[in-house]
């Protein structure tokens, strides 16, 4: 039997961030369980990437992992160009829309998921207060009056070799993704809605270069984003194309040449003659929201608690703020208080659920606005975008949202005024 203060199920970006954030501000003894192996980066770019905003970058800086990420690979972008394929509207954003920011600051960073996870993992391995359990999956979890009891299966391959002793903890956190095992074990109710979209992701070459810009075109079938990738190759982009399941299937069945031609046409040739240079992958998009983020001695964060449409690339940033906020909430407890203090946990849950609901509503509103294809509405939509493009206060607000700058950010995610000059 092994005893810990906290058990984290899931060693993805969000779970690892929570562990490091807690160790930065407390002396809690933490266990993390995840059998997904850590592998080295290959020379070719990974297909799975995330758009990291300023708030998330600040978290990584505070945790001492940003330099490691920088030393591997990332791509900053200073501009965003958004346009309506079916209309005349367009929007252009840049860091210059915020007069308080230095010119060398960035709107965001496109980083391969593996780069971020590996950097966090290396930092976790250096912390004696964090124990990683990677050999066996959890078999069951039981919540008692004062503890959580977690048992393991015999081994990853089902054999009896290397039987892992059970874990006892005061609190368990589910950071194990959209199909959370812990959430299902604890029978946590979910609100779900099928977006009726699949996300198609791939890596492409753009002869005219990405120009340190994130490009997004709203097509009648859904949004298509070109995200700048690989600073050594300024012509490489990661694409995220959200479209109907039928259209996603058709696109994956096209020859690489025909697929590339369709991307070139869809992007109005703004990045040149696109060339597909990777496999194409698709996955269904579903909105998920846990009815409660807290139950007894269990807390959900990240995709285990909520998933949103990827059109604004804010899903991972929302999860990282969950981790920072939970760490801050638990660190505020006195040594005499229970880690599972319900008043404290429910205050955290209200805060993070309201943030998730706000983001879900915003993504839904954008999706619905661009789904309408009647000519009169398209004209109004285009005029509205063009008007917005010329209103500086409105653009400033949108840029601040993209950067993740809000007045109630967890302390770990807050830039100090001196850091913005």
Residue 228: inside a domain, yes or no?
no
Question: Per-residue pLDDT for the chain (421 aa), expressed as one digit of tens each?
Answer: 899 999 999 999 999 999 999 999 999 999 999 999 999 988 888 899 999 999 999 999 999 999 999 999 999 998 999 998 877 788 888 877 776 666 667 889 999 999 999 999 999 999 999 999 999 999 999 999 999 999 999 755 554 455 689 999 999 999 999 999 999 999 999 999 998 999 999 999 999 999 999 999 989 888 999 999 977 778 999 999 999 999 999 999 999 999 999 999 999 999 999 999 999 999 999 999 999 999 999 999 999 999 998 877 788 999 999 999 999 999 999 989 999 999 999 999 999 999 999 988 888 877 776 666 666 666 677 777 777 777 777 777 777 777 787 778 999 999 765 555 4
Residue 308: inside a domain, yes or no?
yes
pLDDT at 418: 54
pLDDT at 170: 97
Structure tokens at 121: 């993992």
Residue 244: inside a domain, yes or no?
no
Measured CA to CA, the distance from residue 79 to residue 211 in angstroms comes to: 9
Domain containing residue 134: CATH number: 3.50.50.60
Q: Of how many residues is the chain composed? A: 421
Residue 55: inside a domain, yes or no?
yes
pTM, full prediction:
0.92
pLDDT at 312: 74
As for how many domains the chain has, the answer is 1
Residue 390: inside a domain, yes or no?
yes
Measured CA to CA, the distance from residue 88 to residue 378 in angstroms comes to: 8
Residue 238: inside a domain, yes or no?
no
Q: Kindly report each contact of residues 156-160 with a partner whose C-beta sits within 8 Å and lies 24 or more positions away, as own/partner.
A: 156/35
Residue 219, phi then psi, degrees to nearest 5: -95, 160
Residue 70: inside a domain, yes or no?
yes
pLDDT at 393: 77
Domain residues for the domain of 7 are 2-191+286-420
pLDDT at 321: 97
Asked if residue 273 lies in contact with residue 265, where contact means CB atoms within 8 angstroms, the answer is: no
Measured CA to CA, the distance from residue 151 to residue 168 in angstroms comes to: 9
Residue 250: inside a domain, yes or no?
no
Asked if residue 252 lies in contact with residue 244, where contact means CB atoms within 8 angstroms, the answer is: no
Residue 128, classified by CB atoms within 10 Å of its CB into exposed (0-12), middle (13-18) or buried (19+), is: exposed
Residue 236, classified by CB atoms within 10 Å of its CB into exposed (0-12), middle (13-18) or buried (19+), is: buried
Interaxial angle between packed helices 13-25 and 113-125, expressed in degrees from 0 to 180 and rounded to the nearest 10 = 40
pLDDT at 323: 98
pLDDT at 13: 98
């Amino acid at each position: 039997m092994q005893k810990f203060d906290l058990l984290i199920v899931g060693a993805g970006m969000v779970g690892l961030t929570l562990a490091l954030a807690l160790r930065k501000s407390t002396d809690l003894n933490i266990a993390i369980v995840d059998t997904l192996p850590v592998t080295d980066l290959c020379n070719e770019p990974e297909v799975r990437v995330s758009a990291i905003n300023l708030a998330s970058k600040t978290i990584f800086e505070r945790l001492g992992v940003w330099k490691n990420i920088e030393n591997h690979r990332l791509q900053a972008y200073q501009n965003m160009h958004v346009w309506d394929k079916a209309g005349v509207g367009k929007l252009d954003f840049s860091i210059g829309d915020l007069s308080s920011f230095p010119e060398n600051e960035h709107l965001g960073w496109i980083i391969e998921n593996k780069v971020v996870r590996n950097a966090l993992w290396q930092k976790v391995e250096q912390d004696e207060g964090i124990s990683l359990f990677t050999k066996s999956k959890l078999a069951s979890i039981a919540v008692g009056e004062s503890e959580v009891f977690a048992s393991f299966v015999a081994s990853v391959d089902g054999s009896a070799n290397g039987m892992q002793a059970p874990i006892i903890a005061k609190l368990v956190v589910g950071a194990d993704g959209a199909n959370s095992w812990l959430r299902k074990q604890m029978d946590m109710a979910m609100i779900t809605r099928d977006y009726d979209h699949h996300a198609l992701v791939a890596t492409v070459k753009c002869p005219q270069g990405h120009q340190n810009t994130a490009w997004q075109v709203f097509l009648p079938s859904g949004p298509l984003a070109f995200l700048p990738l690989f600073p050594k190759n300024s012509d490489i982009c990661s694409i995220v194309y959200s479209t109907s399941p039928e259209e996603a299937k058709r696109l994956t069945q096209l020859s690489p040449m025909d697929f590339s031609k369709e991307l070139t046409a869809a992007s109005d040739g703004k990045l040149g003659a696109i060339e597909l240079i990777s496999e194409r992958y698709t996955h269904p998009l579903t909105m998920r929201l846990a009815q409660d983020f807290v139950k007894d001695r269990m807390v959900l964060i990240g995709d285990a608690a909520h998933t949103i449409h990827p059109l604004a690339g804010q899903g991972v940033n929302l999860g990282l703020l969950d981790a920072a906020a939970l760490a801050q909430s638990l660190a505020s407890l006195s040594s005499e208080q229970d880690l599972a203090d319900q008043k404290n946990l429910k205050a955290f849950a209200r805060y993070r659920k309201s943030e998730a609901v706000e983001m879900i509503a915003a993504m839904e509103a954008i999706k619905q606005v661009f789904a309408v294809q009647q000519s009169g509405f398209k004209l109004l939509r285009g005029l509205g975008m063009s008007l917005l493009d010329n209103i500086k206060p409105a653009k400033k607000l949108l840029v601040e949202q993209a950067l993740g700058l809000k007045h109630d950010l967890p302390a770990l995610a807050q830039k100090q005024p001196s850091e913005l000059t």
